[in-house]
A and B are shown apart, each in its own frame.
Chain A
Amino acid sequence: MSGTDNDKDGASAFVPSRRTVLVFGVAAASTVVTVRPALAQTAGSILNCEIPVPGPQAGGSYVAQDGSLVAPGTQGAAPPLTRPLRGEEVKSLLRNGTSPAGVDPQSAQAYANYIRRLQAGMSGFTCYASLQMPR
């Protein structure tokens, strides 16, 4: 720290100086960013991960085009994958639309949409989160 006298208590930022112009901006502009745990981002680079489609809690369900889970045998829906997708397969599927080996393009899109809908706590979410790095 530079040691100037106005940051000695670390609170100088809150001492309002009179007649300074305060810019409010527009309502939609965000002014608060919260630091989130970065574990998920690092996890993908240090670990080999995979995503079951669908997760074991929904074993047997088919995957509709929009990624939702539907009853087995539903017309137009993709059957469950017999093996989990590897992180690298998911990455190229989500980024470039590349179908994993042995998967037809239409089913691949359904699986991609399923993965995009994963939420915290669901099987595969940590892996998915680790692939979300803006890189």
Chain B
Amino acid sequence: MKHQFAVQIGPVAFRIGSAWAAPLDALARLYAGYPAPADGICDFTVRLEPEKPWRRWLRPSVAIRGDYILPDAAPMALGHGLLAAEMGMNLQMALGQKRYLLLHASSVEKDGRALIMTGESGAGKSTLAALLGERGWRLMGDEFALLDLATGVLLPFPRAVSLKNGAIEVMEAEVAPDRFGPRLCGTPKGDIRHMRPAADALARMGEGAKPALILFPRFGSAAAVRGVGAAEIFMRLTQSSTNYVSLGRRGFDALTGLIHAVPALAIDYPDTDTAVGLIDDFQRELAA
């Protein structure tokens, strides 16, 4: 491809090729400080290509291609090329990741204990992880949590955080401007702005942590905490995993091992500060 960018994110190396320079320039700025793939070998390739040859210039329209593709993927405006690259990387993980149990979850770590947060879109798992990452926790990832099949250790995947709509202002108030990508307005998911995680998240991207707590956060109600039964945790986690079924017994053993080892709580929260307070309380209880 005409333009190329390669980056190491936790245990996964990506190469992104593009017919246009602009999306990769934006990507390189966003991923400043990330290592290049150690041996130059990449696990996954993403390609940003014109949907049709003439669409490289005329109303440029970016098709997301790569090692793994999904039918029905819609092309995106070139102005949203950075988002297309991010979606392409996510898609490779969702379709191609076979070394780890992949949970659609955010995760943070403190004192060697990892907290896994999963829930439906809009539950706030990404915003909460981003916020905790600025308030004494290490951000391990905002979108995917990788569970090592053999050891049960959670591995970091600290790609740029994808902030949506209201979460953008929340994080702009906390984080220096140079860690943000451009604000992408009017994308299919509303306004999106990417944010580079804090320096310790990058420096420690090779360092896993034992899961200590699974949280199912839900934004919008008065603060409440309730326990979640093991069977429900199991079902919810299988539904948040893109590769549970294809991993077969290894997935079953890894997920049942996680459930036996780690308690789970569902929390409702009216605002992010309340949630951060609840989570810090849990952390103190785990440490006690």
A residues in contact (CB < 8 Å) with B: 1, 33, 35-39, 41-43, 45-51, 84, 86-88, 123-127, 133, 135
Contact = CB atoms under 8 A, between A and B. Distances in A.
B240 A123 contact: no
22 contacts: A1-B260, A33-B235, A38-B241, A38-B242, A38-B244, A39-B94, A41-B239, A42-B104, A43-B70, A43-B91, A45-B104, A46-B87, A46-B94, A47-B64, A47-B70, A47-B91, A49-B70, A51-B72, A88-B188, A125-B71, A127-B72, A133-B120
Interface in B178-213: 187-189
Nearest to B86: A46
Contacts of A36: 245
A2 to B, nearest CB: 8
Nearest to A45: B121
A127 B239 CA distance: 17
Contacts of B242: 38-39, 42
A1 B259 CA distance: 9
Contacts, number: 78
Contact of B91 (A46, A86, A88, A123): A46
A127 B189 CA distance: 15
A126 B72 contact: yes
Contacts of B104: 42, 45-46
Nearest to A46: B90
B234 to A, nearest CB: 9
B238 interface: yes
Nearest to A130: B72
Given A38-B244, A45-B104, A135-B120, A50 B72 contact: yes
- Of all A-B residue pairs in the complex, the 5 with the closest CB atoms, nearest first, are A50-B74, A135-B120, A127-B72, A46-B90, A48-B188
Given A35-B235, A38-B245, A47-B90, 11 more contacts: A33-B235, A38-B242, A46-B91, A47-B64, A47-B87, A48-B73, A50-B72, A86-B188, A133-B120, A135-B121, A135-B122
Interface core residue of B71, B90, B122 (most chain A CB under 10 Å): B71
- Mostly helix, strand, loop or mixed at chain A's interface? mixed
B225 to A, nearest CB: 21
- Mostly helix, strand, loop or mixed at chain B's interface? mixed
Contact of A38 (B71, B74, B239): B239
Interface of B: 64, 70-74, 76, 87, 90-91, 94-95, 104, 120-122, 143, 187-189, 235, 238-242, 244-246, 260
B119 to A, nearest CB: 9
A39 B95 contact: yes
Nearest to A84: B74
Contacts of B71: 123, 125-126
Contacts of B121: 45, 133, 135
Interface core residue of B76, B104, B122 (most chain A CB under 10 Å): B104
B94 A49 contact: no
A39 B87 CA distance: 15
B94 to A, nearest CB: 6
B87 A48 contact: yes
B257 to A, nearest CB: 8
B240 A38 contact: yes
Contacts of A45: 104, 121
A46 B72 contact: no
B40 to A, nearest CB: 27
A48 B70 contact: no
A46 B143 contact: yes
